[in-house]
Amino acid sequence: MIEMQDVWKQYPNGTWALNGISVRIGKGEFVYVVGPSGAGKSTFIKLMYREERPTKGHLFVNGFNIERLKDRKVPLLRRHIGVVFQDFKLLPNLTAAENVAFALEVIGTPKKYIRRRVKDALEWVGLADKADLRPAQLSGGEQQRIAVARAIVNNPQLIIADEPTGNLDPDTSWGIMKLFQRINDRGTTIVMATHNREIVNTLRKRVIAIEAGCIVRDEDKGMYGYDD
């Protein structure tokens, strides 16, 4: 699903965020990405959906060669990827249903399919009854569920999440993790950057630890391993 071969990333201001990352993530895996702030976790994740481009090295995601991918082909890549953020990134002027529908509209899904798929996705995250509310009328946990519905509505093969529980209380965080577990149970690959020690140490998965732009640990059913 994902292959990185000696990937380096330098930002325009000169900062090196990744210093030679090589890793393979197979279809259906569930991977936590851990490490201190500033280690390069977000950069690692942003390369996967071509939010950032590698400076050097080779990167393949779901059969796409990311270095060679033309800007106009990026929507083709993202059609197969759902992304979930710490701050939800819902559009404030749209209802929950419209937010989910928007993800289908931008990839050109025929209108006649959109209604049904949005309804199914909202039911799947347990929020069918909140379809017509705007983000400001929803709790943080509900907003993140809507964001998860938006991420899965196109049945992607890969879900990328950057600190998805970072703004949520522990109970709400576990609710989101249950959704991710159910998504992964269907065979969808999940890559999730997190600082949530309790989740990593309880719901045991592969753990990739990044420090100063390098992978320093890669373990099956690993532990969080930091004191923060």
- Applying CB under 6 A, the residues found at the interface with ligand ADP are 11, 13, 15, 17, 35, 37-43, 174, 177-178, 181-182, 202-203
Closer CB to ligand ADP, residue 17 or residue 104? 17
Phi, psi of 55 (to 5 degrees): -80, -40
Task: Compute CA distances 139 → 88, 127, 143, 183, whole Å.
Answer: 11, 12, 6, 22
Secondary structure of residue 55 in the 3-state scheme:
coil
Closer CB to ligand ADP, residue 101 or residue 207? 207
Closer CB to ligand ADP, residue 150 or residue 195? 195
3-state DSSP helix/strand/coil % of the chain, to nearest 5 = 35, 25, 40
Q: Which helix (H) or strand (E) holds 19?
A: strand 16-25
Closer CB to ligand ADP, residue 99 or residue 173? 173
